[in-house]
Structure 1
Amino acid sequence: MHSDNEPYTSAMFPLSAVVFPSTALPMRIFEPRYQQLMSDLLTGDDELQFAISPIVRGREVGGGDERLEVATMCRLAQVMVQPTGEYTFLALGQRRVRVIEWLDDDPYPQAVVIDATESDALPAMADIAHEINRVEKVLIQLGAEVPDHLPLVDGEERLAAFRLAGMVPISDLDRQAILLSNDPSDRLRRFSQALDDLEAVLKFREP
C-alpha cells in the first residue's frame, strides 16, 4: 500500500463485475493481453497486485469500454495455469483507488491511480446488525447457504457494506454506487436501499 498517498501506476483489469475490498472473486484469464498481464505480475511484482475497474458501458473483450473512476486494488491468490495457457485465480479485494489518468494499453490497460480517501464517519453497529439480519433472511429466500456468522467485528465497520453487498445479488449499478462512496455510513445506507429493491423483487416472485 502506498502510505504516502502519492499517485502511482497500476495494471488495470476492466471487468463487468464489481469486486469490493475484503471480498474475493474467482477469475479466469483467456485474452492474450491479460495473459501477458498475469505473466508480468508473476515474474516482476512482489505484491502481485492489479486493479479491477468496473465497466460502466461496453464489453470486457476487445476494449472500447467506459470505466468507473474508482477501482479496487486486488491481490492474486491460488494462481493456476491451465494446459490451454489460461490462468485461474482468486482476486482478493484490498482497497479502493481513484483513477487519475488512463494510460495507453501496452499491451493491457494501465492507469495512474491514487489510494481513495475515506470519511471517518462509521455506521452504528446496531444498523449493521439490522442489515445482517436482513441479508440472512434474503439468503434463506434465495435458497443460498447462510454462514454461521458474518465476518463483521468491531473496528471493521467501514467494510460492512462491502462484505454484505458481496453476499447478495444486488444490481451492478448499486454495486458501483457503493464502491464510489467515500463514506462508510453512506455505503451502508446505499446497500440498505439496494436490499429494499431485492426484497421487493423476491416478494413479487412469491407464489
Structure 2
Amino acid sequence: MFPLGSVLFPAMPLQLRVFEPRYVEMLSSLLAGTVREFGVVLIERGSEVGGGDMRFGVGTVARIVSVDVAEDSIHVLASGTTRFEVVRWLQDEPFPRAEVLELPAVEFDESTPSKLAEAEALVRGTLARASEFVELPWAADVNLSPDLGERIWQVAGIAPLSPMDQYALLRSTSADELLSRLVDDTRGAEIVLTAGWGPEGDDGGE
C-alpha cells in the first residue's frame, strides 16, 4: 500500500518518486514478482513521509507501467485500475500492507453517455477559464479514452477539485451519483478558482 496526499482514480496515470527505504523495499518486492500492482489510498491525517499517518478506507489499485532508477530515487509510472475497500490494516513493517476487498465498477444506465458529455464539457470549460488565474495540472484539451468506463473516471481525474472532493467521487456507486457530484463540485471550484484563489480557499502559495 502507498498512502498519498492525493487521490488516484481508475484509468488515471500516477507518477511517483520513491526514495523512502520502506517503499524502495516494497517496490523491489513487487518487481521481483509477477503481479506488479499496489494500492493507493488518501492520507486522512499526517504526512506522506515518515509514517504514522491515518488513512481513508477506499483506494485504487495502481499497476506499474515503467520504472526508472536514478542515483538517489526511483521514478515510477503507474496507472489506476480497480477500486478497493480496506478490510483490515496490517503492520506497517516492512512497508504498509492491508487486506482489501475489490469494489464493483460503477453502474451505468442509458442516460450515462449524455450526462458524461455534459459533465466533461463543464470540466473542460472550467479548466480553460481557471487556467487564466492559476496553474493547473491538466489542460482543457487533454485527450481522454474513448471507453466509457475509463472516460468517466478520467473526467473526474482532470477536474480541478480538492483531495476530499475527489475522495467523495471515488466512493461513488453509480455513474449518476459520480457525475451529479462532479458537476456540483466543479461549479463550486470554478467560482473559487476564477476569483484567483486555490481550490481549497488559499492563494495557491506554500
TM-score if structure 2 supplies the norm length?
Answer: 0.84
Structure 1 stretches lacking a partner, 5+ long: 1-11
> Which amino acid in 2 is paired with 1:202?
L
Aligned to 1:62: 50
Contact 1:26 1:88 in 2 (8 A): yes
Pair 1:196–1:152, CA change in 2 (3 A): farther
Which residue of 12, 22, 30 maps to 1:33? 22
Measure, in 1, the Cα distance between the counterparts of 2:150 and 2:185.
17
- Identity rate of aligned residues, in percent? 33
Aligned to 1:117: 104
SS at match of 2:158: coil
Measure, in 2, the Cα distance between the counterparts of 1:80 and 1:98.
30
Q: Indicate the larger mover: 136-145 or 73-82.
A: 136-145
Contact 2:60 2:82 in 1 (8 A): yes
Aligned to 1:15: 4
Aligned to 2:165: 174
Measure, in 2, the Cα distance between the counterparts of 1:133 and 1:114.
34
RMSD: 1.9
Structure 2 stretches lacking a partner, 5+ long: 133-137, 198-206
* CA apart distance, 1:147: 2.8
Measure, in 2, the Cα distance between the counterparts of 1:111 and 1:196.
36
* CA apart distance, 1:102: 0.3
> Which amino acid in 1 is paired with 2:49?
V
Pair 1:78–1:134, CA change in 2 (3 A): same
Aligned to 1:5: none
Spell out the pairing of 1:88-99 with structure 2 (5 A cutoff): 88-99=75-86
* CA apart distance, 1:25: 1.3
Contact 2:3 2:43 in 1 (8 A): yes
Aligned to 1:150: 144
Residues 82-122 of structure 1: CA distance to partner in whole angstroms, max 9, x if unpaired?
Answer: 122x1101121010011100000121000011111345344
Which residue of 118, 130, 133 maps to 2:118? 130
* CA apart distance, 1:125: 1.4
Contact 2:10 2:83 in 1 (8 A): yes
> Which amino acid in 2 is paired with 1:191?
L
> Which amino acid in 2 is paired with 1:150?
L
* CA apart distance, 1:73: 0.5
SS at match of 2:186: helix
TM-score if structure 1 supplies the norm length?
Answer: 0.84
